[in-house]
Amino acid sequence: MNEPETTGARRSPWHIYPADWKAGSWFVPYIGDNAVIHHGHQSAEDHSLCGPMVFCCARSRQAFVDLYPDSAPAGASWEPTEAAHILSWLDAGVNVVYFVFCDPVRPEGLLAGGLSAEEARLVLSQQVLLEQYSGQAGRIK
């Protein structure tokens, strides 16, 4: 995903949040103390496109786990994680964040895609809606 698609972008109305949800948080699957990493590389030596998986809400989490019950996120512990914490990963050198999020148009839809550190920073700091990248994301449901 590169440039955000600004025409017609709107926040997804399909999100589901737990009662104790804090605004600006994201669901992150963890194995031990580490976020589950999506390995976005072809070469075993190049990890520049590896990054954490971040989910927009409880609905996206459940839809992903239902689709991929044998995946690392399905077996992980899930924690609401504040954007500031994810931003600290970018500050520490993470180059890409892989977002899984509700399709803003299709109620059962699920989209996924990687954002560069710069793009992810805009989304996490709420300067740009994640849904603005829907046109560049892949449909997984």
Give the range of the structural domain holding residue 115, as residue numbers without chain letter.
25-39+50-56+64-139
Task: Name the domain count of the chain.
Answer: 1
Residue 70 burial (10 A CB sphere; 0-12, 13-18, 19+): exposed
Has residue 1 been placed in a domain?
no
Has residue 9 been placed in a domain?
no
pLDDT at 6 over 50: no
Has residue 10 been placed in a domain?
no
Mean pLDDT to the nearest integer, 100-124: 94
Query: Predicted confidence band at 7 (pLDDT cuts at 50, 70, 90)?
Result: very low
Query: Predicted confidence band at 38 (pLDDT cuts at 50, 70, 90)?
Result: confident
Query: Predicted confidence band at 135 (pLDDT cuts at 50, 70, 90)?
Result: confident
pLDDT of residue 136: 87
Alpha-carbon distance of 36 to 1, in angstroms, equals: 20
Tell me if 15 sits within 8 A of 8, measured CB to CB.
Answer: no
Note if the pTM is more than 0.95: no
Has residue 18 been placed in a domain?
no
Has residue 95 been placed in a domain?
yes
Segment among 27-31, 47-51, 134-138 with least mean pLDDT: 47-51
Give per-residue pLDDT as tens, 59-82: 999 999 999 999 999 999 999 999
Instruction: Kindly give the pairing relationship between strand 96-102 and strand 25-31.
Output: unpaired
Has residue 14 been placed in a domain?
no
Has residue 72 been placed in a domain?
yes
pLDDT of residue 4: 47
Query: Predicted confidence band at 96 (pLDDT cuts at 50, 70, 90)?
Result: very high
Has residue 13 been placed in a domain?
no
